[in-house]
């Protein structure tokens, strides 16, 4: 006790080596560990796979007492604790899966100071009984994992997380470290407020995942596009395919199986046993494709997932980043592949408009969706758009996304956009893309006749382009907010459309959607 204290950094490196066998901290880990081990608070924003766990595990070992880890991932606690015990860390968890005797045992160990780390589900932590226990136990720090769950603006709000303000209120002298892989400005502000971290240092790692190739394509025949993609680039690889509904999960999985792809469905409608089985198989088998709703994947740590495919739009950029981030965690190449079409855009916009959520929430969600659609329609490097959304600037185009690898040609589409917008307006702003396309192409359908739309000046003005072109153009106009999707898929021109219609503004779009019909091209020559 008379010798000089060993500096924190050195002790941290010794623990890292002795317990985990690692030689060095990665990136900002060392700074975070020092800050927290010395009793400071911290906000840690680090992408999935970046190494967040060590940021609270090492300080918990360096400080006297037990590190309390709040985590919503009950299903993973046992695995995390087992892994720690294997390296000799005294770890335990408290959640609803324990028997009363099991709870008592852990509580006794906690009070006796026989634990280094204790994982607690938030609802368990908030029980008066647990909080009283923590008053009496030696506590080293609080780590709040998946901290974005405190925010209603996040994609993963948990009401119990909103109650975690008890931590700064009741234990103001204990260090708190909040960790998340996903947080826009608003979510970040909520984390700081709820957890009382306003003045705390923030440690933000780059969100770039250079080994992931980002690609977005127009949806034509989603199942066969997916099969082509898997067969030509990822045969025999492990992958995740995300769909919006349970029904499409089931259908897609069945269809892939019939085509000889080793595929498995996963959604919240399955029993817990079936879900666990699917997770276990995915983790332990090679080359399994899981077709899933977003219910699948939180906390899944399989390093060699080679692709993540989206057959439906994610809800936000955060969701997209987190879901695609499950590819290539071993650092080897992975593909983030997505197809989307007009119907998807119309659907999600309509679902949002019809949702019963408070107006303010709806506005935020609409803004998040718009950011995602802008990403989908990007004609500049996708990685730059993606990272830009998270407040990070990538100075050069990445060279590893579809836009960089195969630059789309952009061309003036003002005239076509005017045609499409006036078709919507002249038919009363209430018809869907199929009917508007019929009007533009001058198709004499029963509906066109019945509505008298064959008499409109817009009837047939779009014959210079084919059906696919008009659908693609309408999709871009909806994505970019010139057309709004209402009930029954009806499209109406928005205020944003006016300057375009008046010719005060021009619109440039990806040429892919403006392919001229051969006949017309011949005529123009």
**Contact positions vs ligand ADP (CB under 6 A):** 22, 25-26, 29, 46, 48-54, 301
Enumerate the H helices of 245-341 as residue ranges: 246-258, 272-284, 317-324
Name the minimum Å distance from CB 191 to ligand ADP.
16
Does 514 interact with Zn ion (rule: CB under 5 A)? no
The tally of CA atoms less than 13 A away on the side-chain side of residue 516 is: 11
Name the minimum Å distance from CB 17 to ligand ADP.
10
Nearer to ligand ADP, 54 or 403 (CB): 54
Q: Which of these, 330, 280, 328, lies nearest to 308 by C-alpha position?
A: 328
Name the minimum Å distance from CB 94 to ligand ADP.
20
**Two tokens, residue 256:** 């892939």
Site for Zn ion in 353-382 (CB under 5 A): 381
Name the minimum Å distance from CB 210 to ligand ADP.
16
Q: What is the DSSP string of 414-474?
A: HHHHHHHHHHHHHTTS---HHHHHHHHHT---HHHHHHTGGGSTTTTTTTTB-HHHHHHHH
Interacting partner of 229 out of Zn ion, ligand ADP, none (Cβ under 5 to 8 A depending on kind): none
Binding characters for Zn ion, 380-419, by CB under 5 A (x = yes): -x-x-------------xx--x--x---------------
Name the minimum Å distance from CB 273 to Zn ion.
42
Name the minimum Å distance from CB 238 to ligand ADP.
17
Q: Are 246 and 268 in contact (CB under 8 A)?
A: yes
Nearer to Zn ion, 12 or 381 (CB): 381
**Two tokens, residue 305:** 């997932």
Nearer to ligand ADP, 155 or 215 (CB): 155
Nearer to Zn ion, 397 or 442 (CB): 397
Q: Are 192 and 204 in contact (CB under 8 A)?
A: no
Q: What is the DSSP string of 185-214?
A: HHHHHHHHHHTT-TTS-EEE-----TTEEE
Select the residue whose beta carbon is closest to ligand ADP and give its number. 51
Looking only at the bridges linking them, the beta strands covering 410-412 and 508-510 are antiparallel
Interacting partner of 53 out of Zn ion, ligand ADP, none (Cβ under 5 to 8 A depending on kind): ligand ADP
Interacting partner of 381 out of Zn ion, ligand ADP, none (Cβ under 5 to 8 A depending on kind): Zn ion
Interacting partner of 26 out of ligand ADP, Zn ion, none (Cβ under 5 to 8 A depending on kind): ligand ADP
Looking only at the bridges linking them, the beta strands covering 176-180 and 42-45 are parallel
List residues near Zn ion by CB under 5 A: 381, 383, 397-398, 401, 404
């Amino acid at each position: 006790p008379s010798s000089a204290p060993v500096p924190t950094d050195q002790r941290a490196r010794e623990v890292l080596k002795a317990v985990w066998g690692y030689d060095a901290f990665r990136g900002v880990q060392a700074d975070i560990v020092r800050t927290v081990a010395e009793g400071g608070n911290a906000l840690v924003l680090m992408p999935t796979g970046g190494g967040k766990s060590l940021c609270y595990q090492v300080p918990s070992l360096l400080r006297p007492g037990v590190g309390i880890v709040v985590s919503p991932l009950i299903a993973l606690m046992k695995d995390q604790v087992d892994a720690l015990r294997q390296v000799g860390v005294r770890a335990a968890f408290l959640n609803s899966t324990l028997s009363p005797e099991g709870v008592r045992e852990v509580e006794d160990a906690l009070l006796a100071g026989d634990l280094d780390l204790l994982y607690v589900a938030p609802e368990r932590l908030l029980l008066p009984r647990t909080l009283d226990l923590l008053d009496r136990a030696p506590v080293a720090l609080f780590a709040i994992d998946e901290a974005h769950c405190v925010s209603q603006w996040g994609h993963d709000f948990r009401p119990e997380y909103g109650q975690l303000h008890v931590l700064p209120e009741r234990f103001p002298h204990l260090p708190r470290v909040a960790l998340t892989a996903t947080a826009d400005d608003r979510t970040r502000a909520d984390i700081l407020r709820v957890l009382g971290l306003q003045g705390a240092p923030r440690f933000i790692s780059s969100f770039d995942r250079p080994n992931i190739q980002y690609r977005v394509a127009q949806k034509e025949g989603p199942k066969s596009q997916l099969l082509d993609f898997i067969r030509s680039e990822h045969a025999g690889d492990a992958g995740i395919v995300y769909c919006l509904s349970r029904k499409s999960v089931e259908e897609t999985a069945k269809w892939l199986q019939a085509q000889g792809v080793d595929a498995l469905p996963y959604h919240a409608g399955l029993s817990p046993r079936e879900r666990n089985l699917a997770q276990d198989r995915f983790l332990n088998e090679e080359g399994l494709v899981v077709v899933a709703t977003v219910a699948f994947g939180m906390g899944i740590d399989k390093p060699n997932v080679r692709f993540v495919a989206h057959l439906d739009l994610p809800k936000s950029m955060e969701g997209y980043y987190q879901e695609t981030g499950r590819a290539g965690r071993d650092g080897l190449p992975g593909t983030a592949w997505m197809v989307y079409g007009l119907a998807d855009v119309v659907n999600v916009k309509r679902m949002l408009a019809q949702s019963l959520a408070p107006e303010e929430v709806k506005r935020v969600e609409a803004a998040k969706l718009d950011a995602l659609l802008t990403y989908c329609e990007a004609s500049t490097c996708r990685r730059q758009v993606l990272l830009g959304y998270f407040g990070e600037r990538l100075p050069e185009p990445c060279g590893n996304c579809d836009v960089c690898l195969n630059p789309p040609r952009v061309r003036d589409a003002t005239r076509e956009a005017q045609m499409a917008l006036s078709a919507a307006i002249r038919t009363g702003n209430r018809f869907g893309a199929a009917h508007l396309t019929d009007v533009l192409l001058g198709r004499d359908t029963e509906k066109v006749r019945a509505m008298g739309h064959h008499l409109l000046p817009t009837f047939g003005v779009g014959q210079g382009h084919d059906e696919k072109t008009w659908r693609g153009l309408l999709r871009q106009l909806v994505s970019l907010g010139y057309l709004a999707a209402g009930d029954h898929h009806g499209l109406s021109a928005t205020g944003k459309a006016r300057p375009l219609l008046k010719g005060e503004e021009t619109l440039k779009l990806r040429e892919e959607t403006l392919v001229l019909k051969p006949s017309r091209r011949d005529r123009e020559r």
